[in-house]
Amino acid sequence: MSEFLRHEPCPKCGSKDNLARYDDGHAYCFGCEYYEHADGQEKQLVEKPKVANLIDYEIKDLKQRKLDEDTCKKWDYGVGKFNGQACHVANYRDSEGNVVAQKLRFRDKSFVWLGETTKVGLYGSHLWRNEGKMVVVTEGELDALSVNQAFGLKYPCVSVPNGCKSAKRLIAKNIDWLETFESVVLCFDQDEQGRAAAKEAAAVLSPGKVKIVTSLGFKDANEALMNGNSKAIVDGIYGAKTYRPDGVVDGTDCWDLITAEQNTKSVSYPWSGLNEKLFGMRGGELVTLTAGTGVGKSSVARELAYHLMGVGEKVGYIALEESIRKTSECLMGIHMAKPPHLWDESITIEKKREAFENTVGSGKCVMYDHWGSIDPSNLLNQVRYMARAMDCNFIFIDHLSIVVSALSEGDERRMIDNTMTKLRSLIEETGVHLCLISHLRRPEGRSHEEGGSTSLAQLRGSHAIAQLSDAVIGCERNQQDDANANLLTLRVLKNRYAGDTGESCTLEYNRDNGRLLEWIPPDIVEVPNGE
């Protein structure tokens, strides 16, 4: 395809500059449609098929759009009237230069098509030869003119005919022509719809060929031109980023991410041994707390929730096997150092009120009033609401098995897989820290209730629990050992953050105050030999 060189006087109609001369020698008058063959030997008029119902138009500068007359002449973009209304006229031509359709644009931004719309392709493609270093594709005709004017009318630029909705289809239709260029730059509108359309269209072309303008600084190219900033157009196109499918990131683009200030919330655990391995509780993490039946995982979770509220964090608590009254009383009992089952006349209404205002009534606690099984989609909605609407940074779910028990069909493994995947996605979406309580399968040999060690392989229902958790903490206690029944060991089974696993600390349950505090074993005194 030939490339436009200059405007010349037309020997037929007398126009001073309606005749366009191309580098292969041929010429065409956009006023009277006079045509010269490329050999230049003989000048003749060529009868071209006329398209019915097209309107007359005048080519002049568009002052409001900051488009000069030379640009409008090159693109055959004019002004006219249709049914008494003033309009812009964009003439769509085929590869031979014949007008096949007109797109009329009115003041209210509505459009009307005239002519043979089935033959409409990329606006302006007839102006450029095949091949080259770069072609720019815009979302609208005015943007194409603006880009071309900003580059001195030199470099190839085209527009999709019907905005971003048709972009993918039209680029696919013209892929053979576009692929002849070394790079294709998509300069679509800088809004959400434009960015999405650019990604969809980019996926049609060869990998590595497409660049997308993301830093124009204006809604579109014409807006930049109207603000007298042609440089923004040039800089935006030269600074366009090579398209990669979502998720594929060049390491060279990570510097800003690495050096950006970290806003991830992190709070230390209340027990030093666990802190030494996990380095705190961070936003955007899923931590699974697991143990056998009655070992004490719910007590551990409540201690963590109380600790978080004590350092000013807002906590969401979803306990599906107890009422919100029981959850409230247990948290208040931790504060008063007196578990609810030991409350007597010494626990006055004033003491209860003080404990209430420092725990569930402090404005730092949100609970879900529900008992028993729950549909996973409903659970996800509750978590999302706690995170987004109630500003909870830390959320507890007690426990996973009762969630999937609400589903009557399908196997437990698949249900847990789906639920864990959705929970993981929700954490990434909201940035909350989620503590999830999960049960263990009964092991061979010594049971967990008799002090059997925990392992990832024993997580009940699905490997997805271990795979999608950032950390897994096993709780171990021998309920049958009278001397040590109050000792609960926390074993880190998975640690994605630091990698350090194994036994972290032992907690001692005080029957009088109901607290779980870190247990320090008595010193072992070594006796010298012979003494």
Return the domain boundaries, the chain: 1-47, 60-242, 276-309+374-518
Mean pLDDT of 491-519: 93
- pTM above threshold 0.75: no
pLDDT tens, position by position, 92-135: 988 777 899 999 999 988 889 999 988 889 999 999 988 889 99
Q: How far is Cα 495 from Cα 472, in angstroms, rounded to an integer?
A: 7
Which of the two residues, 225 and 39, has the higher pLDDT score? 225
Phi and psi at 141, nearest 5°, equal -60, -45
Range with lowest mean pLDDT among 137-146, 299-308, 355-364, 459-468: 459-468
Tell me what pLDDT residue 413 has. Answer: 77
CATH architecture of 276-309+374-518: 3-Layer(aba) Sandwich (3.40)
Residue 211 host element (H or E) = strand 210-212
Helix axes 376-388, 412-430, angle to 10 degrees: 10
Structure tokens, 462:
């699905």
Range with lowest mean pLDDT among 149-153, 262-266, 497-501: 262-266
Q: pLDDT tier at 48 (50, 70, 90 boundaries)? A: very low
What DSSP designation does 146 have?
Answer: H
Tell me what pLDDT residue 415 has. Answer: 80
Other beta carbons less than 10 A from residue 337's beta carbon: 12
Domain covering 1-47 in this structure, CATH number: 2.20.25.10
Q: What contacts 28, CB < 8 A, 6 or more positions away?
A: 19, 20, 22, 34, 35, 36, 97
Q: How far is Cα 518 from Cα 492, in angstroms, rounded to an integer?
A: 15
Mean pLDDT of 320-338: 93
Mean pLDDT of 211-225: 94
Q: How far is Cα 61 from Cα 344, in angstroms, rounded to an integer?
A: 90
Domain covering 60-242 in this structure, CATH number: 3.40.1360.10
Q: Is 358 left (phi over 0), alpha (psi -120 to 50) or beta?
A: alpha
Helix (H/G/I), strand (E/B), else coil: 17: coil
Do 60-242 and 276-309+374-518 show the same overall fold?
A: no
Closest CA to 62 of 148, 156, 145: 145
Range with lowest mean pLDDT among 217-231, 355-369, 478-492: 478-492
Tell me what pLDDT residue 41 has. Answer: 47
Is residue 303's pLDDT more than 90? yes
Q: What is the 3-state secondary structure (H, E, C) of 409-434?
A: CCCHHHHHHHHHHHHHHHHHHHCCEE
Q: Give percent of the chain above pLDDT 90.
A: 58
Q: 368-404 b/e with 16+ CB inside 10 Å = b?
A: beeeeebebeebbebbeebbeeeebbbbbbbbbbbbb
Q: pLDDT tier at 43 (50, 70, 90 boundaries)? A: very low
Which of the two residues, 235 and 378, has the higher pLDDT score? 235
CA angle 336, 337, 339 (to 5 degrees): 95
CA-atom Rg of the chain in angstroms: 36
The CA dihedral of 459, 464, 467, 468, to the nearest 10 degrees, is -110
Which of the two residues, 507 and 253, has the higher pLDDT score? 507
Structure tokens, 64:
């409001």
Phi and psi at 219, nearest 5°, equal -60, -40
Range with lowest mean pLDDT among 15-24, 308-317, 379-388, 453-462: 15-24
Q: How far is Cα 131 from Cα 183, in angstroms, rounded to an integer?
A: 10
Is residue 527's pLDDT more than 60? no
Q: How many helices and strands (H and E) does the chain possess?
A: 16, 25
Q: Give whole-number Cα distances, 413 to 186, 278, 291, 448, 454, in Å.
A: 45, 28, 19, 22, 20
Is residue 406's pLDDT more than 70? no
pLDDT tens, position by position, 333-384: 999 999 999 999 999 999 999 999 999 999 999 999 887 777 778 888 999 9
Q: 447-477 b/e with 16+ CB inside 10 Å = b?
A: bbbebbebebebbbbbebbbebbbbbbbbbb
